[in-house]
Amino acid sequence: MSAETTTAAKEAASLRNNINEHSYRYYVLDAPSIPDNDYDRLFRRLQELEKNFPEVLVLESPTQRVGEKPQPHFDEVKHEVPMLSLGNAFDSEELGDFEKGIQKQLSDTSPLAYTCEPKLDGLAVSLLYENGKLVRAATRGDGSTGENITSNVRTIRSIPLALMGENIPRKLEVRGEVILPLQGFSQLNSKQIGKGEKVFANPRNAAAGSLRQLDSRITATRPLDMYCYAIGWMEGESLPATHGEVLAYLKSLGLKVNPEAAQVTGAEAVAEYCRAMAEKRSTLAYEIDGVVVKVDSLALQAKLGFVTRAPRWAIAYKFPAEEAVTQILDVDFQVGRTGAITPVARLKPVSVGGVTVSNATLHNLDEIKRLDVRINDFVVICRAGDVIPEVQRVVMAQRPDNATQIPQPKHCPVCNSELEYTEGEVIVRCDAGLACQAQLKEAIKHFVSRRALDVEGLGAKLVDQLVDEGLVNNVAELYHLNVEQLSKLERMGPKSAQNVKDALDKSKQTSLQRFLYSLGIREVGDATALALARNFGSLEKIQAANEEVLMAVDDIGPIVAQHIHHFFQQEENINVIHSLLDAGLEWDPVPVVAKSEGSQVAGKTFVITGTLALFTREQAKAKLQEQGAKVSGSVSKKTDYLVAGEEAGSKLSKAQSLGVEVIDEQQLQELLTLIQPHAKENL
């Protein structure tokens, strides 16, 4: 190793340690230690070193969380120690019976010490560390055998790729729950709705679906989190004496444990903890469906043992389902950032899971038709993790005589512009753009959000005031605000105004990816923004790209390419971008990532229809786009292949009439593997 490489290796190791420490404080402790821009600079420097000196790159580097190329399936993993399920208790009496059963087995009526912690509504996962490095992650599966999801789990930022601290065991198998926090769930469903795709029913389904993506790059875009709650087995160190000490030990290694966990004594104290957690449930950042109660002493756990497939020393106290029946009093229509019109049911207030609910989303007009929901109907409301709960179903047996159809809107409820109905799309839009105050407010909120320009202190209420007072008519005008203007707004004094002004000035130093994302281009999330930045390297090249050039970028299909191209052709958007650059927004140069060659499908146009078995249609689309193919939503004479799954409909008939070659997914798999040997290894 040359002296230059040795120096680079030392700097890379130092950067990894610093980045891991800052990530731990941000994602695990929720106590950021440096500004995002400083973190980004450290991260970019490490990427630069690893690119220039490939020999300094290690698997546990924080730069390796971006996900890998798709895999054909998940391998099975045999758990060395089974991951068992728990028995259930539904009231304080059953908690008392649980303790009495343990006391009887121990022949001791003394109150027992327990550790109680929230029962997270997610997916149980096992992490295996060898010499402190994450080498495998697996689902619970049937308790004995799970699926290897290592590449997906490596993208979760709260999970350390290398353990921290002292007393790191030679081998450590950790159990925990992967979840999707409520804010992330809401954002994910908003994206699904914006794309006209099916929404996730609840955070658990979204988390499970994210972890079971064959393409871990999709998982990397989902804001998953994990809380660790047990050690499955360990070599090289001694187990602590109590479960509470186990949690403290896991935390010392850099693993995230639930801060709500507590040690209590006796069944009455357990019942009180459960009551308190039920009251606190609605304030938590994640879904829980109960409380897990464990005998604290590991020695007693070993003595008590198991019955069938559940431990005698633990039980799950289950909360009542978060559903309620109430009546729809009216339906309003709200306007989103892209002009999407969302129907919201105004309800007779009802308590759902301890929270009074008076509004519930109906998602879109197609959902209204599917549910056959009407004003004055009695409906089941479900708190599925959305900021606004959802209408789950209509109680037809209680439909009143005065139930009336929900009128289909023709004009924007905010600016009165005529609404745009596009054939084949479920989303109805107001096309007034920023001339519509609702869209302007949402556009500004998106622009200053954390993943965009990250302007601290510029919250939703302040944005509403700025627009209502006529102080801001586009995002660029934010940078022309002065302290005097800001300090005159409600709940703003000179100090708060100065903080906002400072935050705006700080946000001028950004990245091309963040800037692109902040513009709010339809269908362009942070992953697509990153792909654009890496493929083009400059804003000017992106602006100059036509739709065909844009579709050559991974993950960008014809619809997204059309939205991007259209955005950069609009004079108003061009003027705003120029104003932002004139205001001083800037970013470091972006190195262009070279595209691999050798694909036999490059330049070919595919249409996918029907139900696929080997992968989802989105995964098939991603695989094709990776190798340079175009994926269209409609069949035409220009279509080269139609990939037909089961229950293929009208697209299959049209393809046959046009003489388009029809293939099944097995033939698609063969086409995708017909590439040069060096590239095939990455499939």
Residues 209, 302, single domain; the answer is yes
Can you list the positions of beta strands (E) in 594-671?
A: 605-609, 630-632, 641-644, 661-663
Residue 74 lies in a domain: no
Last residue of a domain, one of 443, 473, 507: 507
pLDDT digits (tens, 9 = 90+) for 225-284: 999 999 999 999 999 999 999 999 999 999 999 999 999 999 999 999 999 999 898 889
Domain assignment of residue 229, given as a range: 87-318
Share of the chain above pLDDT 90, in %: 42
Residues 466, 539, single domain; the answer is no
Last residue of a domain, one of 399, 420, 441: 420
- For residue 465, the one-letter residue type is Q
**Residue spans of alpha helices (H) in 149-281:** 150-153, 182-194, 203-211, 216-220, 243-252, 267-280
pLDDT digits (tens, 9 = 90+) for 292-350: 999 999 999 999 988 756 789 999 998 866 788 999 999 999 998 888 899 999 999 98
Residue 198 lies in a domain: yes
User: What's the CA gap between 683 and 672, in Å, rounded?
Assistant: 9
Residues 520, 409, single domain; the answer is no
Tell me the β-bridge partners of 173. Answer: 128, 233
**Most confident region among 45-54, 377-386, 571-580, 633-642 by mean pLDDT:** 571-580
Do residues 81 and 174 make contact, with C-beta atoms less than 8 angstroms apart? Answer: no
Nearest to 343 by CA among 319, 371, 314, 318: 371
Do residues 335 and 436 make contact, with C-beta atoms less than 8 angstroms apart? Answer: yes
Residue 122 lies in a domain: yes
Do residues 113 and 295 make contact, with C-beta atoms less than 8 angstroms apart? Answer: yes
Taking the CA atoms of residue 324, residue 329, residue 331 and residue 334 in that order, the dihedral angle to the nearest 10 degrees is -80
SS3 288: strand
Greater confidence, 71 or 52?
52
Residue 73 lies in a domain: no
Residue 156 has pLDDT above 90, yes or no: yes
Last residue of a domain, one of 420, 452, 484: 420
What pLDDT, on a 0 to 100 scale, did the predictor assign at position 594?
47
CATH, residue 154: 3.30.470.30
Greater confidence, 681 or 638?
638
Residues 312, 259, single domain; the answer is yes
Do residues 172 and 129 make contact, with C-beta atoms less than 8 angstroms apart? Answer: yes
Residues 223, 275, single domain; the answer is yes
Do residues 116 and 274 make contact, with C-beta atoms less than 8 angstroms apart? Answer: yes
CATH, residue 336: 2.40.50.140
Tell me the β-bridge partners of 123. Answer: 178
Residue 620 lies in a domain: yes
CATH, residue 30: 1.10.287.610
The β-bridge relationship of strands 630-632 and 605-609 is parallel
CATH, residue 669: 3.40.50.10190
Residues 314, 333, single domain; the answer is no
Residue 81 lies in a domain: no
CATH, residue 461: 1.10.150.20
pLDDT digits (tens, 9 = 90+) for 578-605: 999 999 999 988 776 544 455 678 778 8
Residue 327 lies in a domain: yes
Q: How confident is the model at residue 14 (pLDDT cuts 50, 70, 90)?
A: confident
Q: Taking all residues of the chain, what is their mean pLDDT, rounded to a whole number?
A: 85
Residues 120, 211, single domain; the answer is yes
Count of CB atoms within 10 A of residue 529's CB?
23
Greater confidence, 331 or 425?
331
Residues 239, 217, single domain; the answer is yes
SS3 125: strand
Residues 115, 255, single domain; the answer is yes
Residues 274, 239, single domain; the answer is yes
Residue 550 has pLDDT above 50, yes or no: yes
Residue 678 has pLDDT above 60, yes or no: no
Residues 416, 438, single domain; the answer is no
Write down the residue that tokens 């009802």 correspond to: 350
The β-bridge relationship of strands 641-644 and 605-609 is parallel
pLDDT digits (tens, 9 = 90+) for 603-655: 788 889 887 777 777 778 767 766 767 788 778 888 899 998 876 777 887 88
Question: What crossing angle do the helices spanning 267-280 and 92-106 adopt, rounded to 10°?
Answer: 150
Residue 463 lies in a domain: yes
Q: How confident is the model at residue 49 (pLDDT cuts 50, 70, 90)?
A: confident
Catalytic residues, by residue number, are: 119
**Most confident region among 78-92, 564-578, 636-650, 663-677 by mean pLDDT:** 564-578
Can you list the positions of beta strands (E) in 44-141?
A: 76-78, 87-89, 113-120, 123-130, 133-139
Do residues 520 and 453 make contact, with C-beta atoms less than 8 angstroms apart? Answer: no
Residues 217, 357, single domain; the answer is no
Q: How confident is the model at residue 213 (pLDDT cuts 50, 70, 90)?
A: confident
User: What's the CA gap between 240 and 672, in Å, rounded?
Assistant: 51
**How many domains, the chain?**
6
